[in-house]
Amino acid sequence: MTQHLADALPTPTGTRSGWWRDAVIYQVYPRSFADSNGDGMGDLQGIRSRLPYLKELGVDAVWLSPFYASPQADAGYDVADYRAIDPMFGTLHDADAVIREAHGLGLRIIVDLVPNHCSDQHEWFKQALREGPGTPLRERFHFRPGKGESGEEPPNDWESIFGGPAWTRAADGEWYLHLFAPEQPDFNWEHPAVQDEFRSVLRFWLDLGVDGFRIDVAHGLVKAAGLPDLGRDEQLKLLGNQVLPFFDQDGVHEIYRSWRKVLDEYAGERIGVAEAWAPSVARTALYVRHDELHQAFNFHYLTTGWEAGALRAAVDESLDAMRPVGAPTTWVLSNHDVVRHRTRFGSLARARAASLLMLALPGSAYVYQGEELGLPEVTELPDEVRQDPSFFKANGQDGLRDGCRVPLPWSGDAAPYGFGEGGSWLPQPREWAALSVEAQTGDAGSTLELYRAALRIRREHADLGAGDAVEWLEAPEGVLAFRRGGFVCTVNTTGEDVRIAGLGAGSVLLASGELGADPEVLPGDTTVWWQG
C-alpha cells in the first residue's frame, strides 16, 4: 500500500491503542472561540493561539465545527467546497498549522463533516440547476416534479427541520429536497458519484493529518424508497426521536462500512463519530458496530433531566446498548444546538454536579466550549444579531440556538473579554467578566479549576475512563451512588442535604460544591468523588 502523506506527519504524543474509548473531547465552535484578526469573528489562527489552554485544561482531543468555504446560511453547515477554508476562518495553511501544533501538544483533531447536504452554492448544485430536468447532475440530488395540475405542490408532505416544506421549487418547475434550509439541498446517497466524492473528501483531510470526523446528521443520508408521505401533520424537531422515512434508514450502515475501510487505511487510529438521532439507544448502537464508526453521540443522556431515577436509567440503558457491539458509551451535556446545561438544569451548582457525574462514567466525554467556565445560556439577544436560520421561520425549531454560541470570555473587565480586538459577532453579557478564563484561573472554587482538577484525576486514576459498567450502591431517594473499582461517586440531585451513611467512606478526591464537617451528609445538588 502506498504510504499516505499523513503517515509522515507529527502525531499526538503518548498515543495509545483505543484512545477514543476514554477520550475527553472538547468542541470548538470556531466563530466563537478566539479572534486573531479583530474582525469580530473567531478563526483558525485564534484557535491555534489557544491550543495551550486546551492542553492545560486536560482534554485529549479537539472537535472543530465547520470552517469550510460556505455562504454561512447555517453557520457553515452549508458547505460550498469541502476541500477549502472559508476566508472568514483563514486558509488551508492555517488548518494545517492547527493540526500540526495540536499534535505537538499531544492533542488530536476531529473535524466536522457534513454529508447529508451541501450549500446551494456548491458547484454540483449550481450546475444541476443550469442543466435542467432530466440531466445527470440532477440525479446527485433529490429533484422531483411537483404534484397538482401544473406541479405547483411539493412532491410529498415532508417538513423541513427549520420549518416549512422540505421542498423548494426551481425556476424550471422541478422541486428539490432540503431537510434543513432551502440553501442546503440534500445529496442523493444512492448515486455512486456522491459516495465516491465523500470517500475522496475523507482522504483529503486524513492526508492532512486529522484524527477523525464528527459526522453531521449521520442518520439522515438515506431516504426511504419512493420518498413516501409522512402521512401526518407533525412538525419535525432537530433533536428528536421520531420514526421517520428520511432518518435512521438501514441503508446508512453500508455507507459507514465503506468509510471505516478508508479510516483503517491510515495509521494512528482515525475515528468516525456519528451525530445520529435514532428512536432508541439500541438503534444508535448499530452505527458503532465493529466495522462501522467508533462513537455515537449519546443524545439520550443529554436530554435526561436532573432527576436521580431518570439519570440512572439513562446510564444503564446507554451502557447496556453499547456493550454488545463493543463500543464505548459517550456522555455529553451541552453542544452548539442545545441550551447550555447550566440554564437547562436551573443553577450553576447543578451544572457542576452534573459535570462531575458525567466525567465519572465509563467511556468518552464531550465538553462544549465554555461549559468549563460555567457559562449560562444567553437568553436575551437582539433580533437583529441572531443568525440561526430557524429564528426567521414561523414554525420549526425555537430559533434560539444563537444563545449557546456567544463568543467566549478570555480576560478583562469589559466585552469582548479578550476574544479579539474588534468586538464579537454576538454580544457578550456584562456579567461574563467574572466568568472569564483569567478571572477563574487560580480560584480554587471556580468552575474552570473544578474541570481542570476533574480531568487530571480522571486521567491519573486507574479506575476512571474506559469501561462498560458501574456498580450501583444502595442510596437514599434522590441520590445516585456507584463504584468503579476503588472509586466511588455520590450524587445528590435534590436541593436538600441528605445523609449517606457508609457511602462516603474513604477520602474525598473532589467535590462539586462545599462540604460540611460531617462526611456522611451530602449537600443538595452536589457530586463527590471518593477514593474508597
Q: Which residues are catalytic?
A: 216, 265
Please state whether beta strands 364-368 and 24-28 pair in parallel, antiparallel, or not at all (unpaired). parallel
Omega of the bond prior to 416 within 30 degrees of 0, cis?
yes
Q: Which DSSP state fits 2?
A: P
Residue 526 falls in which region: left (phi positive, over 0), alpha (psi -120 to 50) or beta? beta
Q: Which grid coordinates belong to 315? A: 446510564
Torsion angles phi and psi, residue 108, rounded to 5: -100, 155
Contact assessment for residue 421 and residue 36, using Cβ atoms and an 8 Å cutoff: no
For cell 447550555, what's the residue?
A: 340
C-alpha span between 365 and 332 (Å, rounded): 6
Q: Are 123 and 74 in contact (CB under 8 A)?
A: no
Q: Which residue type does 315 have?
A: V
Return the half-sphere exposure (C-beta side, CA atoms, 13 A cut-off) of residue 81. 9
Q: Cα separation of 511 and 505, whole Å?
A: 14
If one counts every other C-beta atom within 10 angstroms of the C-beta of residue 527, the result is 27
Single out the residue of 4, 491, 322 nearest to residue 331, CA to CA: 322
Task: Tell me the C-alpha distance between 352 and 362, whole Å.
Answer: 18
Residues 6+ apart with CB under 8 A from 231: 157
Buried b (16+ CB within 10 A) or exposed e, 316-342: ebbbebbeebebbbbbbbbbbbbbbbb
What are phi and psi for residue 82, nearest 5 degrees?
-75, -5
Judged by DSSP in three states, 473 sits in: coil
Q: Which of 522, 491, 508, 473 is nearest to 358 (CA)?
A: 491
Angle between helix 348-360 and helix 447-460 axes, rounded to 10 deg: 10
Q: CA-to-CA distance for 99 and 35, rounded, in angstroms? A: 18
| Spatial separation of the C-alpha atoms in residues 375 and 348, rounded to whole Å | 9
Q: Which amino acid is at 461?
A: H
| Residue type at 134 in one-letter notation | G
CB 477 within 8 Å of CB 484: no
Distance CA 465, CA 156 (A): 47
Phi and psi torsions of 480, nearest 5°: -105, 140
Cα–Cα nearest to 23, from 51, 58, 64? 58
